[in-house]
Amino acid sequence: MPEKVVFKLEAFEERIKRKAMKVVCDFPGVTLIDVKEKGELKVTGEFDKFEMTKKLKKVYEFVDIMAIKPDGEPAQNKKLVKKPEPKVKKAPSFRGWKLALFK
């Protein structure tokens, strides 16, 4: 079952980030990599997370696993049921009426 693993990678040098990305990309079973947030590396797929941590520590020694979550889309699990909206009657408008009072 695919899992989403969040690694703590607070490297400021671009060279270290590139090496870490290369290690993660070459790892078998990885399907998605996300590095948009500062200091976090999110990896999704079926892989040995502890083996990946060991290889990432060779690149940058201060790497830790922050979170491990099952990769399930919450939108797929929830069934959205639309409730019918109550119909609201509008008040009659006097603009279209021709009344003798306002001549």
pLDDT tens for residues 33-62?
A: 888 778 888 899 998 888 988 999 998 888
Which position has the higher pLDDT, 81 or 7? Answer: 7
Class of domain 3-72: alpha beta
Residue-range domain boundaries for the chain: 3-72
Read off the pTM: 0.61
Query: Are 9 and 60 in contact, with CB atoms under 8 Å apart?
Result: yes
Cα separation, 31 vs 13, in Å, equals 25
- Dihedrals phi, psi of 27, to nearest 5 degrees: -75, 130
User: If 0-12 CB within 10 Å is exposed, 13-18 middle and 19+ buried, where does residue 20 land?
Assistant: buried
Which of these ranges, 13-17, 48-52, 68-72, has the smallest mean pLDDT? Answer: 68-72
Banded model confidence at residue 86, pLDDT cuts 50, 70, 90? confident
